[in-house]
Amino acid sequence: MLCYNITLYSPGIFMRPTSRHSSLALFIAFVPSVYAQAVAPETEVQSLPPIVVAANPLDLDSDSLTTPASVLQGERLVLERRGTLGELLEGLPGVNADTFGGGASRPVIRGQTAPRVKVLSDGSEVMDASGVSPDHVVAVDTLLARRVEVLRGPSALLYGGGAIGGVVNVLDNRIPTQVPEDGFSGSAELQGATAAKERAAAVGLTVGEGNIALHVEGARRRADDYRVADWDESRVPNSNADSTTGSVGLSFIGSRGYVGAAYSYREDDYGLPGHSHEYEDCHPHGSTLHCGGHDDGEDGEHDHDHHEDGEHAATAHLRSERLDIRGELRDPFAGFSKLRFRGGYTDYRHDEREDGVVGTTFTNRGYDGRLELSHQPVGAWEGVMGVQAARYDFASFGGSEDFIPKTHTQSTGLFLLESYEGNDWRFELGARHEWQTVTPESGSQPDYDGNATSLSAGASWNFTPGYAATLSVSRSQRMPNAQELYANGVHFATLTYEKGNASLDKETAHTLDLGLRKVDGDLRFAVNFFLSRIDGYIYGNTLDQHEDFRLIEYMQGDASFAGLEAEASYRLSPNVSVSIFGDYVRGKLRDGGGNLPRIPSARIGTRTDLSWGQWGGFLEYTQVLRQDRIASYEESTPGYGLLGAGVSYKGKMAGTDYLLYLQGSNLLNKLAYNHTSFIAREAPIQGRSIMAGARVEF
């Protein structure tokens, strides 16, 4: 069976498709496009300025990279904004969300999520606990983000083995990089949605004079349990969320660069759907699982109480304090054009509570730093070299979910990226070598001490004006983390007893990425095919299962990931454009090892964008196909269709720009399950929701 993804985009928002009507949707999208191309008069195409990708140290725009990148910013970011990072990004080609109710979600890139997808805060490590479990929120605030970048494929290797699947870089305004022209600038935003009775607000203000600029910002989001359609209950229990974020930053800004620091604080309280302690007495006997007491003589007799829904409230409380420093200096010394550095210290604490009583506590304290130095062109070559270092102490304690010992992790990496451009070609060469030590405090387990080398090469060929073909290959390595090495205990979020494996070795991924894109004219598109073969892939192998509870042990095997992601748009007239998009990924163990779990379903969709004067609107339909290529002990997920629509108005009053918008999601009110989620059946996708918002910039 040929499986593929097609994604179309327009100057507005991505559109998403559904299953049963996918052929009709494609027909609706393509027939007007072909007809318009034949009969429509020529109209002037308005060119948008190139978008420079900050996560790529060569300061290239997204159309010049040899590997695919997506950028959300400006009006598009405002209209796509959601409460959690995974939900914000899940409409991008090749990106899904590992959802866990309304309070937490992680991005899934090409079938990979944490620990193979790295989330950065303007180039720095976030240092939360989201890599340990899907019920831990990614500690970046989507309401305060000014841009979100997604790098897929080999271009992400400069950020280490934790980026073997991709990089998400969230940029913010907390450290000013320029003094406002009028002495001050800022923004304020309000948003509300019906499915969870969600209320959100954010405000930011920058003031400055001379060489000094000060920035203050804050955001608050509250949401109740969200509503679903045609389910056992009208709302998902424990899917509520409450988040508060604030920061203050100060910069010195000169003619050649800036240096600044910021303090930020984040606090979250959110529910944990499907969270149950009924399996806390389960434990392994070798490779088999025993649940219940030892005095009954019956393996598999599970002596626990099945509580009624709503009787117990499982919640998580997160508190994170962070100090950031950032700086940039142009022409620092002879032969070099730019010096750029990032650093941060994080103090993170996460409590899991049952009826308000603290059970398990997770902490993560540490620092990270990254220094990049760009050299002047040497012949036709230009590039950047750098060093990155991090150390953090992670611990879990105080409850039955204390399944990871206190560990100290230290890593150091050296990297280099060079680029050559001549005629219609661009070539890129990249390399990174890193060292990592993981030391468990218990002393009963051996230390891990390893190193890894990653290499990449890419080429882009502009074979005719407006068109480019790309090819990139890479060899990337990832070393195991503390959870994979030393876990030993019950993990309620994933309903597993996890057994680590201190003898794990590093993974080695060989990846090929082929792309074709058209970036000018009424018709624009981008198509990418990727194939990744990972030797020594680390995964949780299920040894035994009791009811919904599994015994897993981290093991290694050879795996492969292959897929296609695409998007295209056609401008029918100055006021109307249509688009289609889709993506597909297949993940499996090689040599007959079977499918890998929670691989995203294929998607295909269409969208129409309209504009008239200061008004804009869209209508979109996404078909998510059935996922029946499943792993052992996994359940297939039916396909579903999502219909969305929206309208917006841009205006100016007394010199202040404002944007008003109203949009609806899942307008057909479908019951749908997200296959990438650990709790897909306990927390279905939100039902019909109407969202309204307003943003002003001054």
Pairing of strands 212-223, 198-209: antiparallel
pLDDT digit string, tens, across residues 433-476: 999 999 999 778 999 999 999 999 999 999 999 999 999 999 99
Give the pLDDT confidence score for residue 355 in this predicted structure. Answer: 83
Q: Taking the model in full, what pTM does it have?
A: 0.89
Q: Say which residue, 304 or 359, is predicted with more confidence.
A: 359
Of 67-71, 106-110, 301-305, the range with the lowest mean pLDDT is 301-305
CB 499 within 8 A of CB 284: yes
Pairing of strands 603-612, 257-271: unpaired
CB 479 within 8 A of CB 506: yes
Of 53-67, 436-450, 540-554, the range with the lowest mean pLDDT is 53-67
d(CA 655, CA 660): 16
Q: What is the mean pLDDT of residues 491-516?
A: 94
Rounded to the nearest 5 degrees, what angle is found at the Cα of 669, between the Cα atoms of 665 and 671? 110
d(CA 88, CA 76): 11
CB 119 within 8 A of CB 89: no
Q: Say which residue, 295 or 251, is predicted with more confidence.
A: 251
Residue 411 main-chain phi, psi, to 5 deg: -140, 150
d(CA 346, CA 368): 9
Within 590-625, strands assigned E span: 594-595, 603-612, 615-624
Distances (CA, A) of 512 to 109, 455, 617: 15, 12, 38
CB 81 within 8 A of CB 89: no
d(CA 314, CA 304): 17
Give the pLDDT confidence score for residue 304 in this predicted structure. Answer: 43
CB 260 within 8 A of CB 222: no
pLDDT at 324 over 80: yes
Phi-psi region of 494 (alpha: psi -120 to 50; beta: other; left: phi over 0): alpha
d(CA 662, CA 647): 5
Nearest CA among 573, 691, 608, 616 for reference residue 76: 616
d(CA 691, CA 683): 20
Q: Report the percent of the chain where pLDDT is more than 70.
A: 90
Q: What is the mean pLDDT of residues 274-294?
A: 82
pLDDT at 41 over 70: no
Residue 290 neighbours by CB under 8 Å, 6+ apart: 282, 283, 284, 299, 300
Q: What is the mean pLDDT of residues 242-270?
A: 97
Q: What is the mean pLDDT of residues 78-99?
A: 94
Q: Give the confidence band of 364 by pLDDT, cuts at 50, 70, 90.
A: very high
Of 236-240, 285-289, 305-309, 358-362, the range with the lowest mean pLDDT is 305-309
d(CA 370, CA 368): 7
Q: What is the mean pLDDT of residues 512-539?
A: 96
Environment class of residue 595 by beta-carbon count within 10 Å: exposed (0-12), middle (13-18) or buried (19+)?
Answer: middle
Q: Give the confidence band of 312 by pLDDT, cuts at 50, 70, 90.
A: low
Q: Give the confidence band of 38 by pLDDT, cuts at 50, 70, 90.
A: very low
Using only C-alpha atoms, the chain has a radius of gyration, in whole angstroms, of 25
DSSP structural state of residue 42: P
Nearest CA among 462, 464, 466 for reference residue 45: 466
Q: Give the confidence band of 354 by pLDDT, cuts at 50, 70, 90.
A: confident
d(CA 612, CA 569): 18
Give the pLDDT confidence score for residue 61 in this predicted structure. Answer: 78
Residue 23 main-chain phi, psi, to 5 deg: -65, -45
Neighbours of 12 (CB within 10 A): 24
Residue type, 240: N
CB 122 within 8 A of CB 142: no
Both tokens of 332, joined, read 């620092």
**Counting runs of H as helices and runs of E as strands, what totals does the chain give?**
4, 34
CB 345 within 8 A of CB 383: no
Both tokens of 192, joined, read 């509300």
CB 164 within 8 A of CB 373: no
Residue 537 neighbours by CB under 8 Å, 6+ apart: 507, 556, 557, 558, 559, 589
pLDDT digit string, tens, across residues 619-639: 999 999 999 999 988 999 999
pLDDT at 231 over 70: yes
The residues that bridge with 474 in the sheet, in sequence order, are: 456, 511
Q: What is the mean pLDDT of residues 50-54?
A: 75
Both tokens of 396, joined, read 């879990």
Both tokens of 691, joined, read 């969202």
pLDDT at 654 over 90: no
pLDDT digit string, tens, across residues 675-698: 999 999 999 999 999 999 999 999
Q: Give the confidence band of 48 by pLDDT, cuts at 50, 70, 90.
A: low
CB 437 within 8 A of CB 389: no
Cis peptide before 405 (omega within 30 of 0): no
3-state SS string for 475-531: EEEECCCHHHHHCEEEECCCCEEEECCCCCCCEEEEEEEEEEEECCCCEEEEEEEEE
pLDDT digit string, tens, across residues 119-169: 999 999 999 999 999 999 999 999 999 999 999 876 688 888 888 889 999
pLDDT digit string, tens, across residues 665-677: 999 999 999 999 9
pLDDT at 543 over 70: yes
Give the pLDDT confidence score for residue 278 in this predicted structure. Answer: 80
Both tokens of 229, joined, read 């359609």
DSSP structural state of residue 52: B
Pairing of strands 184-193, 425-440: unpaired
CB 570 within 8 A of CB 538: no
Average pLDDT, the chain: 88
CA torsion sign for 117, 119, 122, 126 is negative
Q: Report the percent of the chain where pLDDT is more than 90.
A: 75
Both tokens of 386, joined, read 């750098």
Both tokens of 101, joined, read 């109710």
